[in-house]
Amino acid sequence: MKIGITCYPTYGGSGVVATELGMELAARGHEVHFISYAPPIRLTDSNHNIQFHEVEISSYPLFDHAPYALSLAVKMMEVAEAENLDLLHVHYAIPHSVSALLARMMAAPKRLPFITTLHGTDITLVGNDRSFLPITKFSIEQSDGVTAISHYLKRRTIEEFDIKRPIEVIPNFVNCDLYCRTPNPALRAEWAPGGEPILMHLSNFRPVKRVTDVVEIFAQVHEKMACKLVLIGDGPDRSAAEYLVRKKKLGRHVHFLGKQDRVYQLLSEADLFLLPSEMESFGLAALEAMACEVPVVATNVGGLPEVVEHGVDGYLFTPGQVEIGARYALEILSTPDRGRAMGQKARVNARKKYCANDVIPMYEAYYRQVIEGAAHA
């Protein structure tokens, strides 16, 4: 198949999943065309089946902001015609599904079906700005296929938008061959020279991730036992986290790594992963940690209970209750094996439901279903 994929090329979960999907599809022999304003951050694969098409964003004196959605629609149509695409797969509803709808209309009478994958904030943010509801609902209903990354998000979408059409749940995934525990003694010695347990967090440091709660939990754990904290990522709340670290005089024990591409090489050094988010439609970072045999302490929100089984491969707590999060962290790290048994269960459960080898065929089957449906329309 020839597939056009559009996503935000940044460190958000939707862009990561879309990029990993494209690389997995290319490895299976499909021709993949990424269409966006910049190459996706995680696009490290040099597979000849992958091409990138840049959307040029022109500035017009008439507009305060460049009309990206329109430029994207034109580029989608041009790539579809030039490369004879079988379908478009857009990740994140706003504005990508609207652009795909315009591209499909411009490509007529040739059929150009498109699939919209909902990732979370494209749905939940509508609750904060209802002006987006009509266009988001319309683009979802006009899509040839719609998928959601969790059962929670499917239910939330149906409730928020009164959607009547079918929504397929295809979860996020990891490459279980790549995301596995491969210890690096030199790296561990750099972060924890005294052999202390390592707590880790990975995110885009946006307010919804509650990064300061990560620091608060770590501070409480650190009062009871020597340990280190590794923070991976960057974003608007990094300065607040750095300030809190300085305020609590924890600077010697906390490592800020910034944005990293090959996170699977870092997760293996963690003894515990913290994800105290206000909301997670799935919790991809938690899944990546679990695949690397790292137990997770996270919040019981959104799709996270579908990923983390409380008391088995991690613990779940209510957002903001950092004392409970710290208590769970101490319970794991105080075991003689530092939670290694729970981490091994995490790996087993991640492999059971979320390996790319099982999830990618679900996308391939759905692609064929949508293409055949479009042909008969």
User: Which amino acid does the sequence have at 341?
Assistant: A
| Predicted pLDDT of residue 124 | 72
Q: Which residue do the tokens 């094996």 mark?
A: 337
Question: For 323-368, what is each residue's pLDDT tens digit?
Answer: 999 999 999 999 989 899 999 999 999 999 999 999 999 999 999 9
272: alpha, beta or left, given left = phi > 0 and alpha = psi -120 to 50?
beta
Are 115 and 90 a contacting pair, CB within 8 Å? yes
User: Which amino acid does the sequence have at 230?
Assistant: V
Is the pTM higher than 0.85? The answer reads yes
Question: For 65-79, what is each residue's pLDDT tens digit?
Answer: 668 889 999 999 999
Fold match, 2-173+355-376 / 185-354: yes
CATH architecture of 2-173+355-376: 3-Layer(aba) Sandwich (3.40)
| Predicted pLDDT of residue 126 | 65
Task: List the chain domain ranges.
Answer: 2-173+355-376, 185-354
Q: Are strands 87-91 and 114-118 parallel, antiparallel or unpaired?
A: parallel
CATH value of 185-354 in 3.40.50.12780, 3.40.50.2000, 3.40.50.10860, 3.20.20.80? 3.40.50.2000
Structure tokens at 194: 């005294």
Question: For 171-227, what is each residue's pLDDT tens digit?
Answer: 999 999 999 999 999 999 999 999 999 999 999 999 999 999 999 999 999 999 999
